[in-house]
């Protein structure tokens, strides 16, 4: 049972990243719709949560790929630079597509605020 959960951990973390991105994007759209600018602490919270979840996902994902290096803290600090390298080495071209997907999830809340603001 425990091994099964550990094998599915990257999937659960990816679902968590997507879910939190959508929740935060909905909140930002609402704020933009009512012409309210979000505080810096909200963006800092999102940046920290996203970075921690990306580092956790990478740490759990490397166990199934035979990746011998420890990238947890390094990924936490430099994820925009280290993540494309890791994904390209473990998945090839599909990994770079995944990187752009993670980047889109990271930028989604900010973009939805602008969409809501323009729509109001």
Q: Which domain holds residue 20?
A: 2-119
Q: What is the pLDDT of residue 15?
A: 95
CA-based nearest residue to 112, from 25, 12, 40: 25
- Rounded to an integer, the average pLDDT of 2-26 is 86
Confidence check: pLDDT of 1 > 60: no
Work out the pLDDT band at 3, boundaries 50, 70, 90: low
Angle between helices 40-65 and 2-33 (to 10 degrees): 150
Q: What is the pLDDT of residue 22?
A: 96
- Rounded to an integer, the average pLDDT of 81-104 is 92
Domains in the chain, number: 1
5 or 37: which leads in pLDDT: 37
Radius of gyration of the chain (CA): 16
Q: What is the pLDDT of residue 92?
A: 92
Residues 6+ apart with CB under 8 A from 18: 105
96 or 6: which leads in pLDDT: 96
CA-based nearest residue to 91, from 63, 117, 65: 65
């Amino acid at each position: 049972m425990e091994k099964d959960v550990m094998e599915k951990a990257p999937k659960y973390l990816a679902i968590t990243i997507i879910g939190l991105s959508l929740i935060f994007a909905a909140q930002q759209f609402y704020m933009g719709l009512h012409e309210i600018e979000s505080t810096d602490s909200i963006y800092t919270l999102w940046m920290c949560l996203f970075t921690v979840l990306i580092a956790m996902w990478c740490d759990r994902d490397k166990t199934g790929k035979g990746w011998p290096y420890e990238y947890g803290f390094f990924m936490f600090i430099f994820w925009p630079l280290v993540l494309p390298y890791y994904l390209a080495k473990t998945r090839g071209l599909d990994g770079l597509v995944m990187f752009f997907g993670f980047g889109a999830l990271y930028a989604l809340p900010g973009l939805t605020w602008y969409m809501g603001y323009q729509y109001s």
